[in-house]
Chains A and B, each alone.
Chain A
Amino acid sequence: MLEQAMTSALNENAHPLVRKLESIVDLSPEEREALAKLPVTLRDLKADQDIVREQDRPSQCFTIVEGFTFRYKIVEGGRRQIFAFHVPGDTPDMQSLHLSVMDHTIATLVPSKVAFIPHDAVRALFRVHPRIGDVFWRDTLIDAAVFREWMAGIGRRSAYARIAHLLCEMFVRLKVVGLTKGHSCVLPFTQAELGDALGLSTVHVNRSLQEMRGDGLISSGTNSTLTILNWEGLKEAGDFDPTYLHIQKQAA
């Protein structure tokens, strides 16, 4: 078993969640303590492993500590549509707190560490510290705003713009949780996964990325590292306006 489980407090291992919350509100000492006392189960998961599946009835939700996850559904003909990518600090299945049956699947993109938190503990936390509940509510609303942007992209933007938009979005979201370095970040998607997210063929993604490099907007090195060479140009190419991400403290 590569998978290893242990129960512990939400300590510095789960720091991205606290960091994400702190990017939205200044947590009081009491709120910090309540977060630190949450009973969490940390798990190390392999790449491409389903964490929660369509039709599941979860009794817990999870926060990403390290790695990346994505939401997806298999549609007609066995084809996959990816709805979202999630980064450390995100709690992608918070909706299972109120929607008892999962209507899509969430899986790891790369080897990831996630912290499972029982629904009961989350409910108790929100009752005692309603402001934390408000922050999570806000977070699910931002999720919905991201879906609207993706819908606009898949429906109306060109392949080139769609890809540029996604690269901008991921860079800004990673920056909030401190996972960018200068103009670089690690984006561990394959071109096929990008295609499944953007409704494009692998060849189309590949050709568009080659074009984007040729235009001097990005360079991509080994180990899935993306470097943005021309941020304004990439934003313009992607028709990207970060308003929908509603980032409060750390503008990109």
Chain B
Amino acid sequence: MPRFYFDMIVAGIELPDEEGVDLPSLDHACRDAMATVAAMAKDHSAAIKIGVDIRDERQPVARVRLSLRCIPSD
């Protein structure tokens, strides 16, 4: 299984992935990253921006972006 690295930016703080995770495919890595970002937003339960840059052993392969906020109606 290829190894993917998930470098995160949570509320402006960079959290580089030093370990990586072995996953079956890029598709799997993307779905896993999206599930992670959604769950992190749920845990946070406040406005937040989360980004994940996915790379394999050689290069960047995908990005996930989430911006969650509540906009009051006028």
A residues contacting B by CB (< 8 A) are 158-160, 191, 200-204, 206-207, 210-211
Instruction: Give the CA-CA distance A174 to B35 in the complex, in Å.
Output: 31
Interface residues of B, count at CB 8 A: 16
B residues contacting A by CB (< 8 A) are 6, 8, 15, 17-19, 21, 23, 29, 32-33, 35-36, 39-40, 43
Other-chain contact of B15, A159, A200, A204, A207 (Cβ < 8 Å): A207
Q: How far is the CB of B64 from chain A (nearest CB, A)?
A: 10
Task: Evaluate whether A202 and B19 lie within 8 angstroms (CB atoms) in the complex, with A158-B43, A159-B39, A207-B6 already known.
Answer: no
Other-chain contact of A200, B6, B19, B21, B39 (Cβ < 8 Å): B39
Other-chain contact of B6, A158, A160, A203, A211 (Cβ < 8 Å): A203
Q: How far is the CB of A34 from chain B (nearest CB, A)?
A: 49
Contacts of A158 in B (CB 8 A): 43
Instruction: Give the CA-CA distance A206 to B15 in the complex, in Å.
Output: 13
Contact B35 A201 (CB under 8 A): yes
Contacts of B32 in A (CB 8 A): 201-204
Instruction: Give the CA-CA distance A201 to B64 in the complex, in Å.
Output: 15
Contacts of A203 in B (CB 8 A): 6, 21, 29, 32-33, 35-36
Contacts of B15 in A (CB 8 A): 207, 211
Instruction: Give the CA-CA distance A191 to B29 in the complex, in Å.
Output: 14
Task: Evaluate whether A206 and B19 lie within 8 angstroms (CB atoms) in the complex, with A201-B32, A201-B36 already known.
Answer: yes
Contacts of B21 in A (CB 8 A): 191, 202-203, 206
* 14 further A-B pairs in the complex, CB-CB below 8 A; given A203-B21, A206-B19: A159-B39, A200-B39, A201-B39, A203-B32, A203-B33, A203-B35, A203-B36, A204-B32, A204-B35, A204-B40, A206-B21, A207-B17, A210-B17, A210-B18
